[in-house]
């Protein structure tokens, strides 16, 4: 199998797993082709920080022996995947995008969600670049270099899960894992033109994950198909005693619901804040998705701008608290862009954080009331397509603003209260990719995936590898 084989370069994980289970292709051939593709293409993208060639080939060989013996294998059998380097991988030091963490011992075991994907038959081939400590939207890492957008190597892949998005969008792997604090799955998924799912806060275990802001952090999958999102999400679901916030509720399989369509779903478009400032082609994409989903109404998310401001405060304070010792003793070892924001977070008055948390409770109540009237709503993922690497400023609604923080303009107010969100990839003629968010009530990921599958069946999303 060549690196450009349709069973790797353009096929989704569902197709790969089906072929491996049937015996029409070996897992070893799939993984070997994946590794060769990484060797050929990653030097330009800089998505990977470690490639696990030996262990991946060994896992593929074990899987092929199971298939040959007729032993049942999992729904992701033979599917190569990679994980943002803040997930523990047994035998590797968990970098979290930092230089300081290089001094830590190797992880003794895999993060829970990595282990669950392996149990489903997926094969881990490496770890991926990110913003230091997941605090950023561009993956321009001073220690490990920038990750480049597969659609235009002069542009950002987004962040902080930039390596996760670029690896999938570039066809290196069909599936990856990222984390999302204020948009770190959705922003790079949108800029790289793939699907990214941020589940409900607490829905997937974060055990074995280096956190930035514990009351915000989510983990989730990035992929080129809705089926792969659903399969991987289902494989990772379930309570985990190692993560105290992981929901104590049974798994709720979503893959089997993809064909149900959108009948009965009450869908709206978020207006006001979420329709201000985005570039015209992105607003046209929101309208296109709205028409395809039959959205007949608009909804106003109250105080979204204030929610974003409060999210900034709490994120900075929680992140600073986690890294306070090193901020005091070795500030020169941080990425400068990360260090300055964490230092600012350490200096925030406690009264500001208390007030932000009070507002958070009120805001959650407002959105709970909103979801009594609708099942999901639509909003842009980012205000623009991928900026140039190193681009310091951009214009939003006629005002020049800093690029890095404002890529999260539309994602932060939704992370603030842990809603499940799926970024759907779109691309207008002649434009770079961008994304549209589908947002549902807590624990209603199935509604998001049903709506995305409906759009996919209509041919509206575009998630082909670059």
Q: Which residues are marked as active site? A: 84, 160, 184
Is 253:225 a contact under the CB 8 Å cutoff? no
- In Å, what is the CA distance from 375 to each residue of 254, 267, 440? 16, 6, 6
With a CB cutoff of 8 Å and minimum separation 6, the contacts of 222 are 161, 164, 165, 168, 175, 176, 177, 178, 185, 188, 189, 194, 195, 196, 197
Q: Is the N-terminal amide bond of 160 cis, ω within 30° of 0?
A: yes
Q: How many CB atoms lie within 10 A of CB 392?
A: 10
Q: How many CB atoms lie within 10 A of CB 87?
A: 27
């Amino acid at each position: 199998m060549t690196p450009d084989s349709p069973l790797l370069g353009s096929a989704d994980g569902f197709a790969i797993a089906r072929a491996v289970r049937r015996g029409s292709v070996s897992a070893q051939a799939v993984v070997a082709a994946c590794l060769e593709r990484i060797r050929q293409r990653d030097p330009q993208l800089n998505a990977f920080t470690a490639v696990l060639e030996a262990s991946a080939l060994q896992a593929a060989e074990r899987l092929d022996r199971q298939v040959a013996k007729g032993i049942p294998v999992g729904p992701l059998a033979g599917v190569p995947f990679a994980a943002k380097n803040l997930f523990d991988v047994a035998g590797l030091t968990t970098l979290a995008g930092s230089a300081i963490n290089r001094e830590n011992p190797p992880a003794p075991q895999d993060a829970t969600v990595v282990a669950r994907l392996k149990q489903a038959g997926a094969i881990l081939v490496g770890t991926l670049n990110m913003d230091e400590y997941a605090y950023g939207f561009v993956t321009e890492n001073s220690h490990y270099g920038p990750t480049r957008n597969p659609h235009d190597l002069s542009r950002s892949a987004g962040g902080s899960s930039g390596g996760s998005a670029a690896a999938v969008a570039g066809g290196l792997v069909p599936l990856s894992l990222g984390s999302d604090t204020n948009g770190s799955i959705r922003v790079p998924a949108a800029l790289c033109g793939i699907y990214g799912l941020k589940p409900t806060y607490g829905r997937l275990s974060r055990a074995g994950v280096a956190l930035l802001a514990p009351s915000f952090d989510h983990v989730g999958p990035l992929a080129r198909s809705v089926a792969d999102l659903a399969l991987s999400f289902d494989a990772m679901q379930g309570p985990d005693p190692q993560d105290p916030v992981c929901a104590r509720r049974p798994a709720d399989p979503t893959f089997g619901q993809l064909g149900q369509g959108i009948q009965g779903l009450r869908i709206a478009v978020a207006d006001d804040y979420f329709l201000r400032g985005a570039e015209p082609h992105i607003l046209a994409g929101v309208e296109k998705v709205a028409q395809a989903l039959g959205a007949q109404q608009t909804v106003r998310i109250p105080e979204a701008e204030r929610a974003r401001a409060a999210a900034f405060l709490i994120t900075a304070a929680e992140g600073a608290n986690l890294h306070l010792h090193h901020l005091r003793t070795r500030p020169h070892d941080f990425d400068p862009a990360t260090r300055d924001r964490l230092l600012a977070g350490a200096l925030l008055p406690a009264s500001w954080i208390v007030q932000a948390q009070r507002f958070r409770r009120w805001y959650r109540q407002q959105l709970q009331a909103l979801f009594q009237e609708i099942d999901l709503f639509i909003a842009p993922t980012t205000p623009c397509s991928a900026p140039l690497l190193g681009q310091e400023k951009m214009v939003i609604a006629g005002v020049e603003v800093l690029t890095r923080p404002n890529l999260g303009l539309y994602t932060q107010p939704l992370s603030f209260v842990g809603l499940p969100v799926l970024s759907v990839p779109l691309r207008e003629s002649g434009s770079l990719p961008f994304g549209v968010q589908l947002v549902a009530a807590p624990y209603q990921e199935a509604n998001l995936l049903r709506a995305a599958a409906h759009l996919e069946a209509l041919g509206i999303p575009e998630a082909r590898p670059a």
